[in-house]
Amino acid sequence: MNNLTKRILTAVVAIPIIIAICMAGDLYFFLFVAAASALALHEFYGLAKAKGGNPQATLGIFVGFLVNLSFYHLKLQAFIVGAFLKSGVAIPYPSQTQLLFMIIILGSCLIGIVELFRDKGSAITNVSTTLFGILYVSLFFGTFVGLRELFTSQDPVVYRLFVTQLGISDPDRIYRFGGFMVISLFAMIWICDSAAFHAGTAMGKHKLFPRVSPNKSWEGAIFGFIFAIAAACAAKYLVLDFLPLGAAIIVGIIVGTIGQIGDLFESLLKRDAGVKDSGTLIPGHGGALDRFDSLLLVAPLVYYYIDYVFFS
């Protein structure tokens, strides 16, 4: 079975499952992202080991999971506070930002302490790769959970926007827009990558970044950029009614530029480590880090744009 056939069969099986998880949201989506994040972080640590580093993989993945969990903040808060209230005890609960910083700071301290008792090569390299993996993989993946969970009637700003602009007050319907948002982001990235690949193969003459990825061309990158914006505009009219055309174009620009940079950055890491793929988890697609490399840089920018600009 050739690589293209494997890619197609994997997509046929995986895409319906991913769509269902995105629409279901809640704990299903969180666990999906947390699992993908843990696998991608494991692969990143494998790249670091290929360069002679000895990152604290187990501890890094655990701290990374907690970072992911901080973006599941509202559901986590309701569960913990509710449990204490049932016992008759009222407790203060940190905001999402406070919780995230607490996890990163305490996790960094713990990693430093553990490294004191290790004797495995360069301490600077070990600590640096452990922490950078948490930031690059876990933190950026976590914002994808945050993006899905933005669409809740529990947030008065979000609820007011949907009621005043679209006349939608049904909490379940508002929450479904989060599913449409993350599915649309997946689709934009896939369309951008596909357009860049096919246009580059057919017309690519000017190398984009030969030191990092010799097969990528400026022609392919430009076509990917155009199709990313077109896909974002199509998503606005098909499923993202709440998003003005200007905001959809901004999201498309983020995908068309930062998404391709994310792909190049992961290629840089793999080239430095001397490997073709970050892993072999997904038949025909490489590892989790290979599959989600564009999303890792796109998700935080889209999340913060939607949360702090559009919903502000």
Q: Report the chain's mean pLDDT, rounded to a whole number.
A: 89
Tokens at 63, concatenated: 């701290």
Phi and psi, residue 198, nearest 5°: -70, -40
pLDDT at 19: 95
pLDDT at 218: 93
Tokens at 187, concatenated: 């689709």
Binning pLDDT at 50, 70 and 90, where does residue 191 land?
Answer: very high
Q: Which of residues 160 and 4 earns the better pLDDT score?
A: 160
Summarised one tens digit per residue, pLDDT across range 53-84 is: 999 999 999 999 999 999 998 776 665 655 55
Least confident of 4-8, 143-147, 181-185: 4-8
Residues contacting residue 87 through CB under 8 Å, at least 6 positions apart? none
Q: How far apart are the first and last CA of the chain?
A: 50
Q: What is the number of structural domains in the chain?
A: 1
Indicate the pTM of the whole model. Answer: 0.91
The domain of 261 spans 3-310
Strand-pair partners of 286: 282
Q: How many angstroms separate the most distant Cα atoms in the chain? A: 70
The listed range with the strongest mean pLDDT (67-81, 195-209, 291-305) is 291-305
Summarised one tens digit per residue, pLDDT across range 140-159 is: 999 999 999 999 877 777 88
Binning pLDDT at 50, 70 and 90, where does residue 162 land?
Answer: confident
Cα 312 to Cα 310: distance, rounded to the nearest angstrom: 6
pLDDT at 2: 58
Mean pLDDT of the 10-27 span: 90
Cβ neighbours around 161 below 10 Å, total: 16
Residue ranges of E strands in the chain? 207-209, 213-217
pLDDT at 44: 97
